Amino acid sequence: EFDTKNIFRKIGLIIPLCVPLLISSVKKIDSSAIAAELRGFNRRTAKSGYKKYPFGKNDVFAALICAVVITAGIMI
């Protein structure tokens, strides 16, 4: 049915497919907005939910251990 050359017929066939997609998208956006507000994301405040974590001694130690394990895995 979609291979018709009449543009108005095509639009009439596509609209019933698009309406459920649009409704489900609006529902998902609404629930995502509520979840973001509950987690503290608010466009009225300048503070974001991200926190900077400095690279410390434990991170260097963990990176070295990972490098040794990966190198050992390649050598074996």
Q: What is the pLDDT of residues 20-68, one digit of tens each?
A: 888 988 888 888 888 887 777 766 666 666 678 899 999 999 999 999 9
46 vs 73, more confident: 73
50 vs 19, more confident: 19
Give the angle subtended at the CA of 41 by the CAs of 44 and 28, to the nearest 5°.
115
pTM of the full predicted structure? 0.39
Q: Residue 44 has what pLDDT?
A: 63
